[in-house]
């Protein structure tokens, strides 16, 4: 069974440009999470989908970030316009079952560099 | 809010040395505790977990005990190998909040030399 996949693995863009990150969760996993690690800091929660619905987006830094999960399958995270402080590694994770089942499976991450 | 504090790295050890990576937490509820590992070029992998006080999680020779009295979950291994070189993240999930969102520490890089 395929694990969580993310695309691209690395993106370098200029300040002001737009970037879209994609996450494909493990098939059948209803829960999908986005996290971000800024260099040297903690991995921080961004948002949580249950199927196609946003369950919790309290970690989204501002309205330049837009996440979608059409049809409850893959998810995209768009940053528009990108700022220097958006640089970091964006991780996606998925888990099955109800929200109280905590084991999450992570993708390899997308390294975003904004210059 | 919830938080996780783990020791700063990098931790540099020789092969077969004993490893301890300290982790303490603050949580409003009764959390589950985790150690995740990220090997070079790969995603985070769950290494071990513990869901209640005094539980010991173990995997691949690593172990950690959930200590409620000291709010700690220190990671230990008796004899490290070069292949253990990776970044280790301590994390918690406060299930009293109703969801399993993870709160992570900053990560500790472990470098093991032959």
The string of DSSP letters for A73-109 reads S-EEEEESS--GGG-EEEEEEEE-SSTT----EE---
Q: Which residues of B touch A105 (CB under 8 A)?
A: 46
3-state DSSP of A20-83: EEEEECCCCCCEEEEEEECCCCCEEEEEEEECCEEEECCCCCCCCEEEECHHHCCEEEEECCCC
Strands B108-113 and B11-14: parallel
Taking the CB of residue B100, how many other CB atoms lie within 10 A of it? 22
Q: Which residues of A touch B32 (CB under 8 A)?
A: 102
Angle among Cα B53, B80, A36 to the nearest 5 degrees reads: 65
Q: How far apart are CA A32 and CA A73, in angstroms?
A: 9
Q: What is the pLDDT of residue B100?
A: 74
Q: What is the pLDDT of residue B47?
A: 96
Of residues A56, A105, A109, nearest to B99 (C-beta): A56
Q: What is the pLDDT of residues A31-47, one digit of tens each?
A: 999 999 998 889 999 99
Q: What is the pLDDT of residue A64?
A: 95
Confidence band (pLDDT; 50, 70, 90) for A100?
low
Q: Which residues of A touch B42 (CB under 8 A)?
A: 108
Dihedral sign from CA coordinates of A64, A22, B84, B65: positive
Q: What is the pLDDT of residue A41?
A: 87
Confidence band (pLDDT; 50, 70, 90) for A9?
very high
| pLDDT < 50 positions in chain B | none
Side-chain half-sphere CA neighbours of A1 within 13 A: 9
The answer, yes or no, to whether residue A102 has pLDDT greater than 60, is no
Q: How far apart are CA B52 and CA B30, in angstroms?
A: 8
């Amino acid at each position: 069974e395929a694990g969580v996949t993310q695309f691209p693995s690395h993106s370098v863009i200029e300040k002001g440009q737009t970037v879209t990150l994609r996450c494909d969760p493990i098939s059948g996993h209803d829960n999908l999470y986005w996290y971000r690690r800024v260099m040297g800091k903690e991995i921080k929660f961004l948002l949580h989908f249950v199927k196609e619905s946003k369950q919790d987006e309290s970690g989204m830094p501002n309205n330049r970030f837009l996440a979608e999960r059409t049809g409850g399958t893959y998810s995209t995270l768009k940053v528009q316009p990108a700022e220097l402080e958006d640089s970091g590694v964006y991780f996606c994770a998925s888990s099955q079952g109800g929200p109280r089942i905590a084991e999450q499976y992570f993708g390899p991450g997308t390294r975003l560099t904004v210059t | 809010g919830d938080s996780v504090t783990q020791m700063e790295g990098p931790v540099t050890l020789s092969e077969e040395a004993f490893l301890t990576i300290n982790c303490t937490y603050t949580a409003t509820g009764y959390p589950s505790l985790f150690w995740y590992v990220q090997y070079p070029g790969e995603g985070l992998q769950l290494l071990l977990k513990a869901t209640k006080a005094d539980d010991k999680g173990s995997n691949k020779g690593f172990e950690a005990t959930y200590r409620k009295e000291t709010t700690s979950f220190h990671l230990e291994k008796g004899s490290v190998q070069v292949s253990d070189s990776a970044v280790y993240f301590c994390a918690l999930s406060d299930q009293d909040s109703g969801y399993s969102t993870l709160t992570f520490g900053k990560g500790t890089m472990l470098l093991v030399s032959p």
